[in-house]
Chains A and B, each alone.
Chain A
Amino acid sequence: MQHGYWIRSKPIYHSLAWQYKAQAHVLLASGEGGRSVLRLYQQRLPDQPVTVLYLPAENEDYSAPLVTVVGTSLQVFPDARELWQRFDQVLQQSRMGTRLYAAGTESFLWQATTLAVKHGVLNADVMREQPASLARPVYCVHCKTTTHGVTTNIAVCAGCQRHLFVRDHFSRRLGAYMGLMIDAEDPGNVPDAEEVYP
């Protein structure tokens, strides 16, 4: 976090809410995002067809209640590759007026958005909810590797092992925050990392 000013590239997330003017609805969720889908189903259901694609995570598996609540509109996937493949097909067949919703980790939200953008969807057309962890995907500007699930303000890059300061500056195209070597000016002088994105 940086003090003094708010960085406007940082995305703001909302609780999912049905967009009732629509031709169809496609929901994409992973892990804790399953709870967001359950919460959405507490609201009045829309008249149009709904498709829910769900990827359970370790210790975060809402498949059972989702089967009960969502019924035949639900598809559960054993791994991410199959989920993205299916989502790609769904996008291919969808018409304008199909509302897109995503809930999950920040990495997941932007993987979903990036795939949709390949089909001509605009960033703003996707409604996103970040239900639980604030963990960040961090892009290392030095070696261009993205490290996922960063919960601290300073993190070790999975690619080049540099200590990166996690800036609030966010790229929607990369789906990640900027990471910049923290001890570049004074090598070896790395402050203690603090958990600020639990």
Chain B
Amino acid sequence: MNNLAYKHETFRDDYTYRNSPDAIRRFPFPFAEDHYMYSVNIEQHQPGAKGSIVEHAFDIDEHYVSECEDKLITLGQDKGRYAALPHMMDAQWDFLELSMESLSRDYPHLFTLTKDGERWTWRNGPLGIEDSFVFGDAATLPLEPFEYMGRQVQGDFVLLDQREGTLFADAGFITSQADWSLAFDVGMSWHEWHGPVPQVEKMGIMDRALKFLMSLQQGNPVRRLNWTMTINPRLDTSPEHFPEWGPDKLKVTAQNAGEKAHLRVELQTMFRLPRSNAILFSIRCYLISLEELATYPRWAKRFHRVLRDLHPDLLEYKGIKVYHEAVLAWLSQHDDGAELALGAHPE
């Protein structure tokens, strides 16, 4: 069982975020091979191994309370991190239903949902929340349904409306994004939204991924992993606050990279929602410092090779270029060049 003794830690200022040995062990290391190239890499989001990050529909871990507190700080600074266009109200209730039903089923000791017809009562133990409301009547909740539950589940969420032969990002709750702006992107179609992704167009991957998602079925959610790097364990690496976190990128050295540089892995899950026919795109962020990563030597070796041979466009897009050399220098100490078996497992 994942250790749910919540830690009090910060994702800004003094950055006290750390992973326990358990959390390191279950970290979703994304590289099964020494070379990385963008791919669709989608699989069914069926319950995975006990204790793993994919055991349940939504993963709640030791960082839960601190991460939810960090969401509130970010929202307090910038209301634009939550946006929902008016035609997305059915999708908002779909999200509330899916998240409440999943959390109360998968973590019954933490969350409970009781229903008396349309009268629902929600209890969130770790955050000390209890509310009764009428399902479908937004006036009976303290916030819009999507924002209400977006604050209580780790990760970022986008609701996609399906029309005109594509998907539109018409609502979002985004406080831990890898450098994209909800305030700017909300309302965009699939291809507009992914416009800045390099090396991808020519392979037609976005077209294939769109086609796949448009025929995503209720009851058959899917998932994939994506990754980037972040300096310091910061969730809010938004373009809005770039002036706050951008300068940190120039402070990475071969000496401090192990502590400062983090691998940031996103578990992306996609669900077809029932009432709205919308798609929920959930982006759950996992952060691990290079030092923590190197507690499993094969991970450090593999990550060294992936970063060393990464396509220059991807280095640029992921914002790694400015500290690439420092990170490689740190990682190279941990790479003896020994051949590694296929697979992303820790040992």
* A and B associate in one complex: yes
- Residue numbers of A with Cβ under 8 A of B are 4-10, 122, 124, 139, 141-142, 144, 162, 167-174, 178, 180-181, 184-187
CA distance A139 to B188 in the complex (A): 15
- The answer, yes or no, to whether B193 is at the interface (CB within 8 Å) is yes
- The answer, yes or no, to whether B181 is at the interface (CB within 8 Å) is yes
B150-188 vs A, CB cutoff 8 Å, 1 = contact: the mask equals 000000000000001000000000000000010111111
The answer to whether A174 touches B184, judged by C-beta atoms less than 8 angstroms apart, is yes
**Consensus secondary structure, chain B interface:** helix
The answer to whether B250 touches A186, judged by C-beta atoms less than 8 angstroms apart, is yes
The answer to whether B193 touches A9, judged by C-beta atoms less than 8 angstroms apart, is yes
Known interface pairs A185-B247, A186-B247; A139-B191 also in contact (CB < 8 Å): no
The answer to whether A180 touches B196, judged by C-beta atoms less than 8 angstroms apart, is no
The answer to whether B188 touches A142, judged by C-beta atoms less than 8 angstroms apart, is no
The answer to whether A7 touches B243, judged by C-beta atoms less than 8 angstroms apart, is no
The answer to whether B240 touches A142, judged by C-beta atoms less than 8 angstroms apart, is yes
B6-46 vs A, CB cutoff 8 Å, 1 = contact: the mask equals 00000000000000000000000000000000000000000
Q: Quote the shortest CB–CB distance from B5 to chain A (angstroms).
A: 37
**Consensus secondary structure, chain A interface:** loop
**Given the complex, which residues of B lie within 8 Å of A187, measured CB to CB?**
243, 247
Known interface pairs A8-B192, A9-B195, A124-B164; A169-B247 also in contact (CB < 8 Å): no
- The answer, yes or no, to whether B80 is at the interface (CB within 8 Å) is yes
CA distance A177 to B183 in the complex (A): 12
The answer to whether A8 touches B246, judged by C-beta atoms less than 8 angstroms apart, is no
CA distance A10 to B191 in the complex (A): 10
A174's nearest neighbour on chain B, judged by CB, is: B184
- The answer, yes or no, to whether B313 is at the interface (CB within 8 Å) is yes
- The answer, yes or no, to whether B136 is at the interface (CB within 8 Å) is no
B322 contact from A169, A173, A185, Cβ within 8 A: A185
- The answer, yes or no, to whether B239 is at the interface (CB within 8 Å) is yes
**Given the complex, which residues of A lie within 8 Å of B194, measured CB to CB?**
8
Identify 26 residue pairs between A and B in the complex whose beta-carbon atoms are under 8 Å apart, listed by A's number.
Answer: A4-B198, A4-B313, A7-B196, A8-B191, A8-B201, A9-B188, A9-B192, A9-B193, A122-B164, A124-B164, A141-B184, A141-B242, A142-B242, A144-B183, A167-B196, A171-B192, A172-B187, A173-B187, A178-B184, A181-B243, A181-B246, A184-B243, A184-B246, A185-B247, A186-B247, A187-B247
**Given the complex, which residues of A lie within 8 Å of B247, measured CB to CB?**
184-187
CA distance A144 to B184 in the complex (A): 9
Between A and B, how many residue pairs show CB distances below 8 Å? 78
Known interface pairs A122-B164, A185-B322, A187-B247; A6-B201 also in contact (CB < 8 Å): yes
Q: Quote the shortest CB–CB distance from B181 to chain A (angstroms).
A: 5
Give the top 8 A-B pairs by smallest Cβ distance, nearest first.
Answer: A184-B246, A9-B195, A9-B192, A173-B187, A185-B246, A7-B195, A8-B195, A5-B198
Known interface pairs A8-B192, A184-B242, A186-B250; A139-B199 also in contact (CB < 8 Å): no
**Given the complex, which residues of A lie within 8 Å of B305, measured CB to CB?**
none
**Given the complex, which residues of B lie within 8 Å of A141, measured CB to CB?**
181, 183-184, 239-240, 242
- The answer, yes or no, to whether B249 is at the interface (CB within 8 Å) is yes
Q: Quote the shortest CB–CB distance from B318 to chain A (angstroms).
A: 14
**Given the complex, which residues of B lie within 8 Å of A171, measured CB to CB?**
184-185, 187-188, 192
Which residues in window 282-329 of B have CB below 8 A to A? Answer: 313, 316, 322
The answer to whether A5 touches B199, judged by C-beta atoms less than 8 angstroms apart, is yes
Q: Quote the shortest CB–CB distance from B281 to chain A (angstroms).
A: 18
**Given the complex, which residues of A lie within 8 Å of B240, measured CB to CB?**
141-142
A180's nearest neighbour on chain B, judged by CB, is: B239
A176's nearest neighbour on chain B, judged by CB, is: B184
Q: Quote the shortest CB–CB distance from B10 to chain A (angstroms).
A: 22
